[in-house]
Amino acid sequence: MMAYKAQAEIISPSAGQARSFDPYDGETVRERLSSHLRREVDASFEIGPLRRYTVGFSWVTYGFRATWRENGRSVERDLILRAGPPRGIFAPYRASPEFTALGALAGSGVPVPRVYWFSDDSAAIGAPFFVCDLVPGEAPIPWTRDGGPAFDDARREGLGGQFVAALAALHRFKWEGTPAAAIGGSMDATRAAIDEVTRWEGLLAMWSPRRIPMLEIAARWLRRNAPSARRISIVHGDYRIGNFLEAEGRITAILDWELVHLGDPAEDVGWICLQAWRGRSPYMCHFFTREELRDRYALLSGIEMSLADMAYWEAFGAYKLAVMHFGAVHCFEERGFDDLRMAGMGLQIPRVLLQVESAMERAA
Amino acid sequence: MNMSLDRLLEAMMATLRTDVIPHVGDPYARGQAIGVVDLLNNIGARIEWARAPIAEAVEEKRRLLREAGVALPAARDEPVAGTTADLLAQRDQLDMLICEKLESLSARDDAHARQALACLCQHAHDELTLQMQFVRKPLFAEIASGGGADRSSGR
């Protein structure tokens, strides 16, 4: 059998020192984070025990209680640590795009957790990380046991309205002149789609030495049919059911900004429409028909979008999701990442490739 | 199939050893979980991915490429043979030839190219449809919720 190390050894070029990161060793992560924050923030910084959350296929998420002094006053807060595992699906990770976007969006109409500290370097805790507020709520997930609806009609209406309003606020956000201008992506409306296809083609080439006919057919089609963007916005990149928190009927936070970039806002709208986020429900992300989504979004964002545009970006989303599955296989097979959910994604590849084909046919 | 069986078995054992067994409180349940590790450790040398579907896929790809006028290197035109790993390597090489053919046909705009392109696209569809007979519905609902309800608690 192939031999894999129990822990990844990470060399941080800027720090010039090796550090390992074991997501299951919460105590070591806690000690390192404490030392880092005592050094960087406040010498009296105290962190309680870390508890790991089961959600998320990419970043590792822990909750903890922290106390420190700020401007001479004692502060006590429940916080979240998000760490990018060195062998995870999108490794090597950077925390700065997500941290910067969340910081820029604070106080906008997009509900986001307050962010505190981050590092793109692995020297501090063994992995890039950022710390933000713990926001109360639960994350409804797209997968239901029987494949049926995730919400009754009242919750569908209430949460759905907030879900699209937050997206519209994100896409209306004036990022120019804010730190979010540096998060990366495409600022050329004529190239936003092509740039994204190129980006994901590059990731596929990195993750799969094997050439996949269905994905090559799809990439060629996406290039030929790429639309121009009506505007350039901050694009969440993974905006869907499963990536927001809800408490008492209110969306309290939009989460998981790791794929955030500048680009065509239609990309987020197409992503909402993926088969993967609705099971057998007729509603996109268990919320809307395509037409309802288009109309509500246009009303709130002022951005008119045709069903054809949405279908193009849905096809792109299906392609991107399929490429992510190859990333899951790569981190499991080649990088020794033992998370069995990655292997599980690998076994679903025929299903997602057929979804790419059907999304492309609908858009053609 | 994109993953090696050895790697899958190894990761399943590692997950049980590292992430599951230490958190199982009941000694009998812990013993049974170790029994699963023992079984996984012993079956690895006895099994491989089902060979027949991969051999059929290789055969089909060769036929398709011949019909598309692609000259196959001699080794790829001989009767389908070898271990499962050999067949997977052949499949990957043939997929590369299919992708190259797709590329060249896409650059043309004549009826013959369109027809040949349609055949290759149909093959990609048919192969995935065949593979779907081995794919079971994922248990993402239970995985994401840690075996609990259809939602994940707050972050």
Which CATH number belongs to the domain containing residue A158 in this structure? 3.90.1200.10
- The CATH number assigned to the domain holding A28 equals 3.30.200.20
* Claim to verify: residue A80 and residue A213 sit in the same structural domain: no
Question: End of a domain among A133, A168, A194?
Answer: A133
* Claim to verify: residue A128 and residue A165 sit in the same structural domain: no
Rounded to an integer, the average pLDDT of B110-136 is: 95
Is A220 a residue whose pLDDT tops 60?
yes
Q: Do the domain assignments include residue A144?
A: no
Please tell me if residue B155 touches chain A, with a CB cutoff of 8 Å: yes
Rounded to an integer, the average pLDDT of A245-249 is: 95
Q: Tell which residue, B60, B75, B68, has the closest CA to residue B119.
A: B68
* Claim to verify: residue A158 and residue A66 sit in the same structural domain: no
Q: Do the domain assignments include residue A140?
A: no
Please tell me if residue A307 touches chain B, with a CB cutoff of 8 Å: no
CB contact under 8 A, A144 and B128: no
Q: Do the domain assignments include residue A138?
A: no
* Claim to verify: residue A208 and residue A325 sit in the same structural domain: yes
Q: Do the domain assignments include residue A24?
A: yes
* Claim to verify: residue A253 and residue A332 sit in the same structural domain: yes
* Claim to verify: residue A296 and residue A348 sit in the same structural domain: yes
Rounded to an integer, the average pLDDT of A264-291 is: 95
Is B76 a residue whose pLDDT tops 70?
no
How many structural domains is chain A composed of? 2
Please tell me if residue B121 touches chain A, with a CB cutoff of 8 Å: yes
Predicted pLDDT of residue B6? 93
Predicted pLDDT of residue A17? 47
Is B152 a residue whose pLDDT tops 60?
no
Predicted pLDDT of residue A110? 97
Is A152 a residue whose pLDDT tops 50?
yes
Question: CA-nearest residue of chain A to B118?
Answer: A217
Predicted pLDDT of residue A280? 84
Question: What confidence tier does B75 reach under pLDDT thresholds 50, 70, 90?
Answer: low
CB contact under 8 A, A137 and B44: no
Q: Do the domain assignments include residue A208?
A: yes
* Claim to verify: residue A125 and residue A253 sit in the same structural domain: no
Rounded to an integer, the average pLDDT of A52-61 is: 84
Q: What is the Cα–Cα distance from A267 to A238, expressed in whole angstroms?
A: 9
Q: Do the domain assignments include residue A2?
A: no
Q: Which residues on chain A are in Cβ contact (under 8 Å) with B57?
A: none
Question: What confidence tier does B140 reach under pLDDT thresholds 50, 70, 90?
Answer: confident
Predicted pLDDT of residue B1? 60
Q: Which residues on chain B are in Cβ contact (under 8 Å) with A216?
A: 99, 102-103
Domain that holds residue A319: 153-363
In the three-class reduction of DSSP (H, G, I as helix; E, B as strand; rest coil), residue B110 is classed as coil
Please tell me if residue A276 touches chain B, with a CB cutoff of 8 Å: no
Q: Round the average pLDDT of chain B to a whole number and report it.
A: 88
CB contact under 8 A, B102 and A242: no
Q: Tell which residue, A182, A186, A83, has the closest CA to residue A128.
A: A83
Q: Do the domain assignments include residue A141?
A: no
* Claim to verify: residue A171 and residue A60 sit in the same structural domain: no
* Claim to verify: residue A219 and residue A276 sit in the same structural domain: yes
Q: Do the domain assignments include residue A145?
A: no
* Claim to verify: residue A271 and residue A333 sit in the same structural domain: yes
Question: End of a domain among A133, A164, A199?
Answer: A133
Question: End of a domain among A98, A133, A168?
Answer: A133
* Claim to verify: residue A172 and residue A109 sit in the same structural domain: no
* Claim to verify: residue A171 and residue A228 sit in the same structural domain: yes
